[in-house]
Amino acid sequence: SQDVGRARGSSVLAQSSLVAPLSPATRADRSPLVCPERRGDTMLGMIKNSLFGSVETWPWQVLSKGDKQDISYEERACEGGKFATVEMTDKPVDEALREAMPKVMKYVGGSNDKGIGMGMTVPISFAVFPSDGGSLQKKLKVWFRIPNEFQSNPPVPSDDSIKIEERESITVYSLQFGGYAKEADYVARAAQLRTALEGIATCRSDVYFCTGYDPPMKPYGRRNEVWLVKA
């Protein structure tokens, strides 16, 4: 039988520290998924959505599971649909993500033509583009799957840099890991997964996805993943 993917600990996402300033001493401040505190007028939608929004999981089915070289991975068929996307260039991945994430959160929280908070879909993913040698190019693309209620008619973003795009389903190989993930962590895990899949599967070498499930203020049991796209 096929397993249905489920987000772990996603209920706490509604209490995301995107709506609260973090102490500079916290480890979370070193994670690119942490957004710095913003002016009150730009935070209202995010606060509303974080407090009252719902959380759902990007639909997928687990096709197979494997273990190799102390690596446990899953092959998943992830549904397509409409996504809110933000592209960033000419900046290191961690820096670009810190700039892109508040844009997405504001849109989700109500910065759109309908003025409504849509709730969250996890994981939030971002595409990265490897250079020769495995390091990442200075560009990324954040993909936020529009919640099911709004798939047929997504609210129009107030920010012109956010685009609504239709994406087909994809099959990925996923490796999960914990902690506050940064660029170096994703790069290392992607390399481990690619090595484990040698002779088993062929994956695209020009792009892969990094994902996060948890609010920055969640200190333990964090869930991050790298997704290599099946060729």
Percent composition of the chain: helix, strand, coil (DSSP 3-state, to 5) = 25, 35, 40
Average pLDDT, consecutive stretches of 10 residues, N- to C-terminus, the chain (231 residues): 39 31 37 44 46 77 95 98 98 95 94 94 96 92 97 98 98 98 97 96 98 87 97 96
The pLDDT of residue 32 is 53
Rounded distance between C-alpha atoms, residue 63 and residue 5, angstroms: 10
Task: Sketch out the chain's domains with CATH numbers.
Answer: 3-230 (3.20.80.10)
| String of DSSP letters for 164-178 | EEEE--EEEEEEEE-
* CB atoms near residue 63 (< 10 Å): 15
Please state at what angle helix 40-52 crosses helix 93-109, rounded to 10 degrees: 70
| Cα distances (angstroms) measured from residue 205 to each of 8, 187, 209 | 29, 13, 11
| Cα distances (angstroms) measured from residue 22 to each of 84, 86, 100, 216 | 26, 25, 19, 9
Cβ 54 vs Cβ 119: under 8 Å: yes
The pLDDT of residue 69 is 84
**Please, where are the H alpha helices in the chain?**
40-52, 93-109, 183-196
Q: DSSP assignment, residue 163? A: E
The pLDDT of residue 16 is 33
The pLDDT of residue 168 is 97
The pLDDT of residue 7 is 37
Rounded distance between C-alpha atoms, residue 227 and residue 231, angstroms: 12
The pLDDT of residue 217 is 81
Q: What is the pTM of this model?
A: 0.79
Q: DSSP assignment, residue 213? A: -
